Amino acid sequence: MLRNSFPLLIKPASFSCNLQCKHCFYSLKTHGNGSQKQLHMSGKTLHRLIKMYLALPLERHVFIWQGGEPTLMGLQFFTHAVQYQKQYATKAHTIENCLQTNGTLITKDFSKFLARNHFLVGVSIDGPKHLHDFYRTYPTDKGSYQKVMDNLGLMQKDGVNVNALTLLTANNVQHAADIFHHLTTKHILHHQYIPCVEFQPDGSPAPWAVDPLEWGKALCSLFDLWLEARGRVSVRYFDALLYTLMSGRPGICHMDNRCGQYAVVEYDGSIYPCDFFVSPQWKLGNIHETSWQEIWQHPLYTAFGQGKKTNSEKCSSCQWVGLCAGDCQKHRIGAYSTAHSQHSWLCNGYRLFFEYAVPILRRLAGPTRLPEAALPEVPEGNVNAG
C-alpha cells in the first residue's frame, strides 16, 4: 500500500499527566489496566519507532507527540528523538514534529528547543481563566490557566509556532465568541475547536459533554468571527470545509468516509487505529514485532476503516453527509447507537451550522479546484485535546 503521508500519533507518556482534568478522555479510567505507575517510552522503543517509520517511502513523515502529557518525558527525550530523526533522514524526507501539550511544563530551555527544531505546538486553552480553570486543574484542584499563559508567552517570545486547541464543553460552549476574542487578544491566530463528546456506561451524555444544538450555535458564532478575520485568523474546521468544497477531498479525518489515515503508537510500542480507540480489542500489533505493511493489511484495521460507513438511515438521506460523513466514530457510541445503525450525537448541531454556513462557503469556494497538497493532512487529534 503506497501512501503520501501516514502521520503517527505517539503517546510517549501514555495517559500519565500532571493535571487531573475532569473531562479527560485519555485517562487511567478509560484504559482499564489498573496501573497507577507512570508509563514512559524507553529509549529502545523510541529508537525503533523512528528508524522503522523513516524507512517508509512517504512524501511526509509527521510525528505528533501527544498524551496524557508528553512533556512529562522531559527535554532529553525529545532531544534524542530529533537526533534519531536526523540520523535516519535522507534528503528525500520531509519531517514534521507536532506537540500537543497542556503547556504547564514548558521551560525556557524547552521553549528554545521547540523553536530551534521547528515544532508546531498545540496548547490546550479552553478560554479565559474562569472557563479554562473549570475543568483543567491540578490534582489539588488549583487551576492551570496562569501557568499555561506564562509558558505560552515564553514560546511566543522564542518564535515557536503555537496553535490553540479549545475543547468546547457543557461549561464553555455558550461562550465561544468570548473564547475566540480571548485567544486573538493573546496573539493566537490559529484555532482548533473540538467538541467534548463523552458518554456514560448507559449511553447517556457525560455531564461535561457538549449539547448538540449548543455546538451548532457555537460553530455559527465562530464562523461569523472567522469570516470577519479571514486572512488573519485561521480556524481549522472552517479552513478544512472550504478546502473540501474547493477540492472535493476531505480536509480533516472525521470528514472522510473511511477511517485509517494514521496510527497511534503507545509508550510500549503497541499500535492502534485511533487514539479514541486505544483498547485491547483494537490493538493492531507492536512496533517491536509488527511491520507497517502488516498493520495496514490487518483485518482489524480494515474493519475499523470501513466501520465509518455504518451510518444511520438519517445519514443516507441527508444533504450534508458529503461534508460530515456521519462524523467521527467516537461520537456515534452513545444514545443513538444500535447494532445496525450509528448516528452522531452532534448531528442536529451540524445540520444547524451547515444550513447557515455552507451557502457562504460555496460562494467563497467558487469554481476553484485546489491541488491535493494545499492543506496538510495532519489529523485533527491532535487532534484531540484531553
275 part of the active site:
yes
Rounded alpha-carbon distances, angstroms, from residue 62 to 202, 227, 262, 351: 37, 30, 10, 33
The rounded distance, in Å, linking the Cα atoms of 187 and 51 is 37
Taking the C-alpha atoms of residue 364 and residue 378, their distance in angstroms, rounded to an integer, is: 23
Sort 156 into a burial class: Cβ within 10 Å, 0-12 / 13-18 / 19+: middle
Three cell numbers, residue 261: 489515515
Residue of 76, 79, 99 whose CA lies nearest to 87: 79
The C-alpha atoms of residue 126 and residue 23 are separated, in whole angstroms, by 12
Secondary structure of residue 99 in the 3-state scheme: strand
Q: Please, are residues 345 and 200 in contact by the beta-carbon 8 Å criterion?
A: no
Record the cell numbers describing residue 234, joined without a space.
485561521
Placement of cell 506564562 in the chain: 150
In 44-126, where do the E strands start and end?
61-65, 95-101, 120-124
Q: 126, 133, 275, 327: which one is catalytic?
A: 275
What does the radius of gyration of the chain's CA atoms come to, in whole angstroms?
Answer: 20
CA 132 to chain centre: 18
Question: CA 185, CA 237: separation in Å to the nearest integer?
Answer: 21
Kindly list the catalytic residues: 275
